């Protein structure tokens, strides 16, 4: 079964299609995968193939995000008509689309305009589309019904009214309706000049303006995943927030669920809660592409690589890693060691480090006793709480990692006997 334009289908619809025949192979195609589909691919649940080769002679569409103004609209329309082309004006409110029609006619006298939307009679809509396709009309004022399946090479300018109200994938699909020949296409995303846009709307418009190169659908989808989250992968909800739990925890939960659905016994590894005063992230100015950042986060969550090996690869590919990346890699190593030992939580507050061990913690008891007895400011309670005073915030991550290595039985030089950690 082949599902084209997969982003147009809901979960219930796709599941209903799959039920038509059991054990069928499914090929889903989309220029902009919805966040859930992309996340399923990144997590290994579905195979993903990318086709990034553009059609011959196709050029990237010039994209501008601008405040709405009559002068801008008139100039964009007149420029396209004067060079022998046609225009799409996307206006997604059927109830007052006729008012917009009157506005455009007053703005550009003599312009041949027709209207198209999904509530029109099918025969009338078809007649108007044929007139536009044949060149009898200069401008089509339409709703998002033109988002898919429209291929008119002579239309090379698009204006999107209230672009801040559209989704990122939807904007990408709309922009793909122009520039479908060897002519340079223009897409103007218009926002109200006197309105403060929401944070998400601003991010969407910045992304669509940023990713203008041909074959950018995957990058658009990856940014959409970062903005909206992957949602409930096994339910009907289409969006959610990875940021609520963090990418590492999210990926771990996903992998455990997949293992359970396959009938595999998930590894019982109690999670360790870590709260340290360190910035652990991959800055956008270090790795610009969202898909690459997500891939690095996933590899860190898998904990299958040596930290030094990953850092060396990052240095080779992207240049010297900033401090936040070093802290992220060390933080991932710290979490791995903590969970393997059976640490319940690690907290640093007011230069005091507190490590709470589980009852079944696998620590080197002799090393723990020796550390507490030799290190000034160290203490250990019968209920499994190890404390260490006098640890400045910038040193907390490194000291904690060294201390856990000591508790695991690895030799450690300097920490147990000295007051200063180097």
Give the pLDDT of residue 399: 87
Coil, strand or helix at 170:
helix
One domain for residues 43 and 80: no
Tell whether the model's pLDDT for residue 99 goes beyond 70. yes
For 60-88, how does the pLDDT look when each residue is reduced to its tens digit (9 = 90+)? 788 888 899 999 999 999 999 999 999 99
Give the pLDDT of residue 75: 94
Give the pLDDT of residue 85: 93
Asked if residue 140 lies in contact with residue 146, where contact means CB atoms within 8 angstroms, the answer is yes
* Average of per-residue pLDDT values in the chain: 79
Tell whether the model's pLDDT for residue 366 goes beyond 90. no
CA–CA distance, 389 with 374 (Å, rounded to integer): 14
Residue, of 150 and 230, whose pLDDT is higher: 150
Asked if residue 343 lies in contact with residue 357, where contact means CB atoms within 8 angstroms, the answer is yes
Domain residues for the domain of 3 are: 1-51+218-244
Pick the last residue of a domain from 175, 192, 214. 214
Give the pLDDT of residue 233: 45
What is the number of residues in the chain? 422
Give the pLDDT of residue 290: 75
Coil, strand or helix at 361:
coil
Give the pLDDT of residue 416: 39
Tally of CA atoms within 13 A in the half-sphere of 127 that contains its CB:
5
Tell whether the model's pLDDT for residue 419 goes beyond 70. no
One domain for residues 82 and 30: no
Which pLDDT band holds residue 236 (cuts at 50, 70, 90)? very low
Give the pLDDT of residue 132: 94
| Residue 159, strand partner residues | 89, 188
Task: Identify whether 288 is part of a domain.
Answer: yes
Q: Taking residues 149-175, report their average pLDDT.
A: 86
Task: Identify whether 413 is part of a domain.
Answer: no
CA of residue 78 relative to chain centroid, distance: 37
Give the pLDDT of residue 108: 94
One domain for residues 13 and 127: no
One domain for residues 93 and 198: yes
Question: How far lies 114's CA from each of 104, 124, 367, in Å?
Answer: 11, 11, 82
* Residues in contact with 225: Cβ distance below 8 Å, sequence separation at least 6, in sequence order: 35, 38, 39, 242, 290, 294
Task: Identify whether 381 is part of a domain.
Answer: yes
Pick the last residue of a domain from 176, 198, 214. 214
One domain for residues 84 and 17: no
Tell whether the model's pLDDT for residue 148 goes beyond 80. no
| pTM to 2 decimal places | 0.50
Give the pLDDT of residue 261: 74
CA–CA distance, 171 with 159 (Å, rounded to integer): 11
List, edge to edge, every strand of the sheet that includes 385-389.
273-275, 343-349, 352-357, 385-389, 378-380
Task: Identify whether 412 is part of a domain.
Answer: no
One domain for residues 90 and 186: yes
One domain for residues 234 and 311: no
One domain for residues 152 and 80: yes
In sequence order, which ranges of 7-69 are alpha helices (DSSP H)?
11-19, 35-42
Give the pLDDT of residue 289: 79
One domain for residues 209 and 278: no
One domain for residues 314 and 391: yes
Task: Identify whether 257 is part of a domain.
Answer: no
One domain for residues 205 and 96: yes
Q: Taking residues 150-165, report their average pLDDT.
A: 90
Tell whether the model's pLDDT for residue 213 goes beyond 60. no
CATH number at residue 394: 3.90.1150.50
Q: And the tokens for 294? A: 């997500």
Coil, strand or helix at 215:
coil
Give the pLDDT of residue 396: 86
Q: And the tokens for 304? A: 């299958």
Task: Identify whether 223 is part of a domain.
Answer: yes
Question: How far lies 55's CA from each of 5, 52, 211, 293, in Å?
Answer: 18, 10, 18, 29
Asked if residue 37 lies in contact with residue 162, where contact means CB atoms within 8 angstroms, the answer is no
Tell whether the model's pLDDT for residue 345 goes beyond 50. yes
- For the chain, the domain total comes to 3
CATH number at residue 205: 3.40.50.300
For 254-265, how does the pLDDT look when each residue is reduced to its tens digit (9 = 90+)? 667 777 777 776
One domain for residues 210 and 223: no
Give the pLDDT of residue 207: 73
In sequence order, which ranges of 11-139 are alpha helices (DSSP H)?
11-19, 35-42, 70-82, 97-107, 122-133
Q: Which of 71-80, 85-94, 283-292, 344-353 has the lowest mean pLDDT?
A: 283-292
């Amino acid at each position: 079964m082949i599902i084209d334009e997969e982003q147009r289908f809901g979960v219930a619809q796709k599941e209903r299609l799959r039920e038509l025949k059991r054990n069928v192979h499914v090929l889903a195609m989309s220029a902009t995968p919805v966040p859930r589909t992309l996340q399923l691919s990144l997590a290994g649940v579905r195979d993903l193939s990318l086709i990034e080769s553009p059609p011959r002679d196709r050029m990237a569409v010039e994209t501008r995000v601008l405040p709405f103004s009559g002068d801008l609209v008139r100039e964009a329309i007149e420029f396209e008509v004067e060079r022998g082309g046609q225009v799409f004006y996307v206006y997604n409110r059927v109830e007052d689309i006729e008012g917009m029609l009157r506005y455009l006619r007053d703005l550009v006298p003599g312009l041949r305009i027709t209207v198209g939307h999904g509530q029109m009679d099918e025969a009338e809509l078809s007649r108007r589309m044929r007139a536009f396709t044949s060149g009898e009309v200069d401008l089509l004022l339409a709703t998002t019904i033109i988002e898919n399946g429209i291929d008119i090479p002579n239309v090379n300018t698009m204006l999107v009214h209230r672009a801040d109200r559209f989704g990122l994938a939807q904007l990408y699909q709309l922009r793909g309706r122009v520039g479908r020949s060897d002519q340079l296409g223009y897409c103007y995303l218009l926002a109200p000049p006197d309105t403060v846009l929401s944070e998400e709307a601003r991010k969407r418009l910045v992304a669509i303006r940023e990713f203008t190169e041909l074959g950018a659908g995957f990058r658009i989808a990856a940014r959409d995943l970062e903005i909206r989250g992957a949602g409930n992968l096994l339910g009907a909800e289409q969006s959610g927030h990875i940021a609520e739990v963090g990418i590492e925890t999210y990926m771990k939960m996903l992998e455990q669920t997949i293992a359970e659905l396959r009938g595999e016994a998930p590894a019982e590894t109690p999670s360790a809660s870590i709260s340290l005063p360190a910035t652990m992230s991959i800055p956008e100015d270090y790795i610009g592409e969202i898909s690459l950042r997500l891939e690095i986060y996933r590899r860190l969550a898998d904990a299958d690589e040596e930290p030094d090996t990953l850092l060396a690869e990052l240095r080779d590919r992207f240049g010297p890693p900033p401090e936040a990346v070093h802290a992220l890699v060390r933080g991932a190593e710290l979490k791995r060691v903590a969970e393997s030992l059976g640490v319940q939580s690690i907290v640093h507050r007011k230069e005091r480090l507190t490590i709470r061990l589980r009852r079944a913690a696998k620590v080197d008891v002799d090393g723990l006793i020796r550390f507490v007895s030799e290190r000034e400011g160290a203490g250990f309670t019968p209920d499994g709480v190890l404390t260490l005073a006098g640890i400045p915030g910038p040193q907390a991550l490194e000291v904690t990692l060294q201390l856990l290595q000591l508790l695991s039985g690895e030799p450690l030089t300097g920490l147990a006997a000295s007051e200063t950690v180097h």
